[in-house]
Structure 1
Amino acid sequence: MPTAEMPRRLVYLETLGCAKNRVDSEIMLAALHRGGYGYTAEPAEAQVIVVNTCAFLTAASEESIERLLTLSDFKSAGRCEKLICAGCMSERYRESLLEEIPELDGLLGSSNFQEMPALLDDLYAGVPNARVRLQPKPHYAHLEHQERLQTTPAPYVYLKIAEGCSNMCSFCNIPFLRGYFSSRGIADIVEEQRRYVDAGIREINLISQDTSSYGVDRKDGAHLAALLRAMDAVPGDYWLRLFYAYPNTFGQAELDALADAAHIVPYLDMPFQHIADHVLKDMNRRIGEAQIRSKLEWLRARLPGLALRTTFITGFPGETADDHRRLLGFIAEGWFEHVGVFTYSHEDNIHSARLGDPVSAATKRARKAELLAAQQAVSARRNAGRVGRRLRVLVQGHAEETELLLQGRAAFQGPEVDGVVYINEGQAAAGAFHEVEIVEAHPYDLIGRIVQ
């Protein structure tokens, strides 16, 4: 650890991939701060460069390698002394990464984020065999009683309630990278939530690999409905938002907790992945078209104003042109507020690898474009119906494109993945809720004015 006489070494930390990785990076930053290391937003100023990597898909692994190699240039062009690969790439490729990328000085696994300062201390001290900190199998003690340094722009944060996944979908390598599902305790989660509310955070987004399975691994009776009710009981003016709900395990108790809540927005992210029965079976999703439609009708009956987000995979092995047309028609029915589409990625460490990769890349791209166009038409109709309405909007600050506009989100718009509300008339403080009248609609975004 640096001493009082020794200047603090500066760390540059770059995060790739999903919001869950962002939480892990915030845990690392807090650990580094406690360990006496400083932080810089400029890699040229850093003695230590860390990349928190993503290896969910081949393209993500390639991006991670590219960033590691690019940032390694700062060893000669900057002040960099140590280059560290953290997270999923370390878990997927383990010690072989040190041979493939000799510029690397160390590896840190996804169970070891709290150990980042200890890894650096050992590297600087020349401790033998200190370059790798990986567990044989992931475990997540670091999720309990965690301290984080927030990197999201105020006024929202992500709160990770669990780690890993036990669903074993055939297209997914998360169980291999992150281990089996592991939930935090309710008291620990609520304690973290209270810190955010007390600090003035206005939106807390609950994330994990499978949010609706929360508690199934615990022996204290915890479950998602109990967690939601405990969190909703925390006083304050804020939103709670639920991401990554697995359709099979989101039941009546969870829906009632969402519907009864004062703070949980009527928004639900529930990935369905496809609608064709044989594709869903080969994906090992344990649900079919009839159950999906029944689930959607049930959700709408209990919460008519619920904004649904989902994701689909196109080009999965065995997907036919008829399957694609069926999915297109399903999207066009207008069930969803937001839809994300991913092209199937053939990976060597997933169960569906045995099925090959028969759908061409060009066909996958074309199908993805058609699916997104179908949802764009749905979104355009929905947004057009909002013109003239007044919405409660969480103002985030100036728009990313120009300081002439303010930018915020309504309850049906999740951060970083959905559209926004641009405000072109009136003044509002960032981090506050304001009433906004919608004056113009676009397929994904809205334009409005502050109602004084």
Structure 2
Amino acid sequence: MSKVTPQPKIGFVSLGCPKNLVDSERILTELRTEGYDVVPSYDDADMVIVNTCGFIDSAVQESLEAIGEALNENGKVIVTGCLGAKEDQIREVHPKVLEITGPHSYEQVLEHVHHYVPKPKHNPFLSLVPEQGVKLTPRHYAYLKISEGCNHRCTFCIIPSMRGDLVSRPIGEVLSEAKRLVDAGVKEILVISQDTSAYGR
């Protein structure tokens, strides 16, 4: 009788705003699609991903503490998200972090995961995620991100330096995602972005 190889396990921490939560959902959806298990505890994980926030000082501190906790309890950590745009700041406190990417760097995060924890073998015809993808919100509502970034350069705001200029998703893509959410039973769709009023510009 052949021995069943356990699926690799990824620990995940998502910090910050709803926009960051949507990024986490996208990464988790890809990981589950590829056959990785996502686990709540660091001890059981082969690696931990920390999706950070860097908007205000308290959020930066929370992110750095979360990275430190993951390093102490697991040792293999990939950092992504807004604070990832300030790699030097992270490396100064946590030099043992394996890799650091900026926000919405989904493909890069997955490439790093593949490097340290190779993709598991699984039946490609077996769907491991629901049609609407992995959601971290309660079942009755979901976030729908329609654009990324902001074209304004307000002196009090660092979002453009982390998230870049405004890039709107195609309307057809947005409507298709909204339909999938409704078909999955979502009752309330919360439309979000860094600058919702500028969508399509």
d(CA) in 1 for partners of 2:98 and 2:165? 29
The Cα shift of 1:157 comes to 0.2
Deviation at 1:107, TM superposition (A): 1.1
> After the TM superposition, which parts of structure 1 deviate over 3 Å for at least 4 consecutive aligned residues?
none
Tell me the residue number matched to 2:139: 154
1:203 aligns with 2:196: no
For structure 1, the residue ranges without an aligned partner over 5 or more in a row are 76-80, 126-146, 217-452
2:108 equivalent to 1:115: yes
1:108 CA displacement: 2.2
The correspondence for 2:152, drawn from 154, 167, 172, is 167
Q: Is the 8 A contact 2:13 2:49 kept in 1?
A: yes
> What TM-score results when the alignment is normalised by the length of structure 1?
0.39
Deviates more, 1:200-209 or 1:41-50: 41-50
- Aligned positions of 1:34-183 closer than 5 A: 34-75=33-74, 81-91=75-85, 93-95=86-88, 97-124=90-117, 148-183=133-168
Name the CA distance, whole Å, in 2 between partners of 1:104 and 1:152.
28
Q: CA deviation at 1:175?
A: 0.4
Once the two structures are TM-superposed, the CA of residue 111 in structure 1 deviates from its matched residue by 3.3
Letter in 1 for 2:35: G
SS in 1 for 2:7: coil
Taking CA–CA contacts closer than 8 Å with sequence separation of 6 or more, which of the two structures ends up with the larger relative contact order? Answer: 2
Correspondence list, 1:12-411, <5 A: 12-75=11-74, 81-91=75-85, 93-95=86-88, 97-124=90-117, 148-216=133-201
Identity, % of aligned pairs?
36
Distance 1:14 1:52 in 2: 6
Q: CA offset at residue 5 of structure 1?
A: 6.2
Distance 1:207 1:17 in 2: 14
Change (3 A) 1:198 1:124: closer
CA deviation string 1:189-236 (max 9, x = no partner): 0000000111110000000011011001xxxxxxxxxxxxxxxxxxxx
- RMSD of aligned alpha carbons: 2.0
Letter in 2 for 1:27: R
Which amino acid in structure 1 is aligned with residue 91 of structure 2? L
CA contact (8 A) 1:32 1:116 kept: no
Residue 102 to residue 5, structure 1, CA distance change in 2 (3 Å) = farther
Mapped partners of 1:154, 1:42: distance in 2: 23
Gaps of 5+ in 2: 119-131
Q: Secondary structure at the match of 2:49?
A: strand
Q: Following the alignment from structure 1 to structure 2, what is the Cα–Cα distance between the partners of residues 69 and 94? A: 15
The C-alpha deviation readout for 1:106-150, integer Å capped at 9, x for no partner, is 11221311332321122357xxxxxxxxxxxxxxxxxxxxx7411
1:110 partner amino acid: P
Q: Could you list the per-position Cα deviations for residues 294-331 of structure 1 after superposition, in whole angstroms to 9, with x for gaps in the alignment? A: xxxxxxxxxxxxxxxxxxxxxxxxxxxxxxxxxxxxxx
C-alpha distance in 1 between matches for 2:149 and 2:133: 19
2:47·2:117 contact (CA, 8 Å) conserved in 1? no
Q: State the TM-score, normalizing by the size of structure 2.
A: 0.86
Distance 2:16 2:160 in 1: 16
- What is the DSSP-based 3-state SS (H/G/I as helix, E as strand, rest coil) of the residue aligned with 1:73? helix
| Conserved? CA contact 2:23–2:104, under 8 Å | no
